[in-house]
Amino acid sequence: MDKEQLNQISKQILDASITVHKEMGPGLLEAVYQQCLVKELTLRDIKLNTMVPVPLQYKGYLLNKDYILDVLVEDEIILELKSVEGILPVHEAQIISYLKLSNKRLGFLINFNVPLLKNGFKRFVNNF
């Protein structure tokens, strides 16, 4: 998938996230937003998987640990969803690690517990 296609899907993800936030408002559990966002993206004919395991590798060895991606869109874009008071450096480190471990180029950290969703929507890249 080229950059233009990724950017087009990214716009859909942002729009779908805003739609969910407008419909549901802030203050709910992360799982609620995940269910709603999955439905919204599905209604837009965007392919996705949820709770996607990414195996932990160390020096080329597969270890007995998987990281779990909240949502993987079109097998290319990672969505890490939060409903927290504020995004912490550990949340940012989490999505950066997921991008590297899964060898994906684009990810979004989305915090739904904000008055205005654009303030909770952050883009991360890996060799983009």
What pLDDT, in 10s, does the model give residues 50-63? 999 999 989 989 99
pLDDT in tens, 92-122: 999 999 999 999 999 999 999 999 999 999 9
Residues 97 and 67: beta-carbon distance below 8 Å: yes
What is the SS3 assignment for 46?
coil
92-105: string of b/e by CB count within 10 Å (b at 16+)? eebbbebbebbebb
Checking phi first, is residue 126 left (phi over 0); if not, alpha (psi -120 to 50) or beta?
A: beta
Q: For the chain, what are the domain ranges?
A: 3-125
Is the pLDDT score of 128 beyond 80?
Answer: no
Residue 54 amino acid letter: V
pLDDT value, residue 127: 86
Mean of all residue pLDDT scores within the chain:
96
Whole-model pTM: value is: 0.94
pLDDT in tens, 17-50: 999 999 999 999 999 999 999 999 999 999 999 9
Q: Which two tokens stand for residue 62?
A: 């597969």
